[in-house]
Chains A and B, each alone.
Chain A
Amino acid sequence: MKKNIAKKILTEPKMNYDLNLLQEMYKKMLLIRRFEEKAGQLYGMGQIGGFCHLYIGQEAVVVGIQSAQIDGDSIVTSYRDHGHMLACDMDPKGVMAELTGRKDGYSKGKGGSMHMFSREKGFFGGHGIVAAQVPIGAGLAFSHKYNGNKNVSITYFGDGAANQGQVYESYNIASLWKLPVVFVIENNKYGMGTSVNRSSAGENLSDRGKPYGIMSEIIDGMDILAVREAAVRAIEYCRSGQGPYILEMKTYRYRGHSMSDPAKYRTRDEVDKIRKTSDPIENIKSLLNKMGVEDKTLKDIDTDIKSVVAEAAKFAQVSPEPSEDELFTNVTIN
């Protein structure tokens, strides 16, 4: 199956972008990259257990979209969720401590990598069942509409989830009821070890919104400015009460599906080529360079982020395990 990434022409020339905004986006992407690298290390050391799905390579998607959100918007995603939490400004210490299953983790150590939440930051998980977050995201959009506020729900799912029936049940209802939800398909080309063209009929995943009357776009998810501009369009459309919107982000994960994935379904060359030619962080770094940001400044940013991540890793290893009393708490509220 041939897939054309329709490169959207940016409405503004890249060089005209606000430098502070670009630097902030760069920092956030770098934080996610370094955080995930550290998580991979801690997993190798046996500090993180169970499943651990890294977001390395896809950083531009969540950071670009987050840059177009306002306070009060809801975010919900799958189990590949660390990047989304950091993009929402959740504390890296709390996220890492959850990965190590400690009491200071966002879920007191009871959720783990796939199940973290922060109502305060509008992050509604972290869902371990493929596509289960899609109707939940539509339901969060329902609550925004019901309450008459101007907020939207950003509902992320992968190309694998895009074949689940509940996605289309959600499309149908979201379109019927004009729910303010942006469905973001993070198409990283593989649902675990099965490539999109072996799992998904039809030309593009985004086309599947058309029968439901849902607007959609395909975006180069490795280009953060393209992501941001698309997010601005989509979110504005939803906020103005016109109903849902689909953004299919063509992206790529460098690591395996989870830590235990030998990745035999693709070649090393394929991964290297994308790293060399399309890395989202390298892309924005060279733009910053061109705009006159000095290497030293960029290096300082990297150093700062490395220390934030190191601190989070340390915190996550010294935080105690949850008290045994926690076994029976939070089953129900009363």
Chain B
Amino acid sequence: MTIEILMPALSPTMEEGTLSKWLVNEGDSISSGDLIAEIETDKATMEVEAVDDGKIGQILVTEGTEGVKVNTPIALLIDSNELPHATIKNIADKPYLEKENVTSKPINEKSISIEADSSLITVREALRNAMAEEMRADKSVFVMGEEVAEYQGAYKVTQGLLDEFGGKRVYDTPITEHGFAGIGIGAAFGNLKPIVEFMTFNFAMQAMDQIINSAAKTLYMSGGQMGCPIVFRGPNGAASRVAAQHSQCYASWYAHCPGLKVVSPWSSKDAKGLLKSAIRDPDPVIFLENEVMYGQSFSCPDDDNFTLPIGRANIEKEGNDVTIIAFSIMVGKSLEAAEILKNKNINAEVINLRTLRPLDIDTIIESVKKTNRVVTCEEGFPFSGIGAEISALITEKAFDWLDAPVVRVTGKDVPMPYAANLEKLALPQVDDIVSASAQVCYED
């Protein structure tokens, strides 16, 4: 009997990986539990164990192949008494390595144009470069968090920092968010510039008191004496299939509080330019990344001095008919929606907020004056969300320019469900942005 060994999914968001090494050869007998291959995901390199006994009949994906999609057959397992290749002709003839199963890495490489003096890098690399560059430039910058040093980052964002900067600049903490956030804040009061990584912002809830009561308010309560130059960063928002406690957008929670700056990048350029500005900023900055975006590649300036200003939005696509306002992962979805809207003769303008506090309301109002119609997009809950705030501000500042009520595209008002179909329903999709845009243009 022949069994297909499939490319395994090794993390919630893994869609593909690199088959970096085979640890067995064709003809080798293996038992359940034996190591057979090494697979590199965007998070880590992992060893794969055999789950059945038998003999490796044929290796279908050669080592070093990148972009092998999850569930692609990578080898065939035959009974121990069979001969390799002898019984598998019919299967081996199958074109396993069809183009759709193996793509070059990164996926979106072909569709991205690389700007001058820039390189195509992932959001993850951009974040790491931003930290490394700032750490080289300023000895008071250090990194602390769970698994940031020896493990190289739970999402590999801090990969290589320990090697370059050593244990006096990169600290693994115990899993005690409240305590280490407070220690980071104390270090910032002591004139250091900590970058505190939360493995995800879901866990930062444990540290909420320190972030709000100590980091955000002390400058005011001290009459301006006690600056707190600290960055709290990590993935925010929905990951994939991790359910309610690990999938939530906290943008509106932090943006609610005076004393904080709240930044949320979309592309690699955003990630690098904004994180460098956040590290240099004298105020506490909440830096909301997105796990799903980490592996995506964009053109990013190489210059060590490249920064983007906190508090300024970017118009990613100009248009005249409707303004779509988004941040983080929703910017990409908004751009996709804008492409679809072209077919409906709707020319959408897409604003990437980049910063949620202070909000670049001027850019929004200018756009409203041009398009007269607005759709806001976020993964977070609708009630008291970022969209609700933007809608209120537009009503206050540009009511007479509106030709339709502002429509909010948001996550549904429920804790995130686990089931794949329900999760998809709970999250805002491209189609939702398309139909909301059509609605405000009275084209639905």
Residues of A within 8 A of B (CB): 74, 76, 105-111, 115-119, 124-129, 132, 134-144, 146-147, 153, 165-166, 168-170, 172-173, 176-177, 329-334
Contacts and interface: CB of A to CB of B under 8 A. Distances in A.
B185 interface: yes
Given A125-B226, A132-B210, A173-B174, A146 B187 contact: yes
A5 B210 CA distance: 34
Interface residues on B, range: 35 or more
A330 to B, nearest CB: 4
Contacts of B186: 76, 124, 135-143, 153
A199 B240 CA distance: 43
B226 A127 contact: no
Interface of B: 142, 168, 171, 173-174, 176, 178-192, 209-210, 213-214, 218-227, 258-259, 261, 281-283
A46 to B, nearest CB: 22
A108 B258 contact: no
A255 to B, nearest CB: 24
A136 B226 contact: no
Contacts of B223: 105-111, 330
Contacts of A107: 221-223, 225
Nearest to B219: A330
A116 B179 contact: no
Nearest to A334: B282
Nearest to A135: B182
Contact of B213 (A116, A132, A144, A333): A132
B189 A139 contact: yes
Contact of B179 (A74, A115, A119, A135): A135
A330 B220 contact: yes
Contacts of B168: 146
Contacts of A111: 221-223
Nearest to B182: A135
- Residue among A74, A109, A144, A330 facing the most chain B CB atoms (10 A cut-off): A330
Contacts of B220: 110, 330-331
15 contacts: A106-B222, A106-B225, A111-B222, A111-B223, A124-B189, A125-B222, A136-B189, A139-B186, A142-B187, A169-B182, A177-B171, A329-B224, A330-B220, A331-B259, A332-B261
A140 B187 CA distance: 5
B187 A139 contact: yes
Nearest to B213: A129
Given A135-B185, A139-B190, A172 B226 contact: no
Contacts of B214: 127, 129, 132, 136
- Residue among B180, B187, B223, B261 facing the most chain A CB atoms (10 A cut-off): B223
B286 to A, nearest CB: 13
Given A146-B168, A332-B259, A334-B282, A170 B182 contact: yes
Contacts of B227: 333
A173 B192 contact: no
A134 to B, nearest CB: 7
A10 to B, nearest CB: 33
Contacts of A173: 173-174, 176, 179-180, 183
Given A135-B178, A135-B185, A331 B258 contact: yes
Nearest to B169: A146
B225 A117 contact: yes
Contact of A142 (B181, B183, B219, B221): B183
Contacts of B282: 333-334
A139 B183 contact: yes
Contact of B182 (A117, A119, A132): A132
Contacts of A125: 218, 222, 226
Contact of A115 (B174, B189, B222, B258): B222
A165 B180 CA distance: 12
A50 to B, nearest CB: 13
Nearest to B181: A135
A169 B281 CA distance: 28
B24 to A, nearest CB: 41
B74 to A, nearest CB: 42
Given A135-B210, A173-B176, A124 B183 contact: no
A66 B17 CA distance: 59
Given A129-B214, A135-B181, A166-B178, 13 more contacts: A118-B225, A125-B218, A134-B182, A135-B182, A135-B183, A140-B187, A143-B191, A153-B186, A166-B210, A169-B176, A330-B219, A330-B220, A331-B258
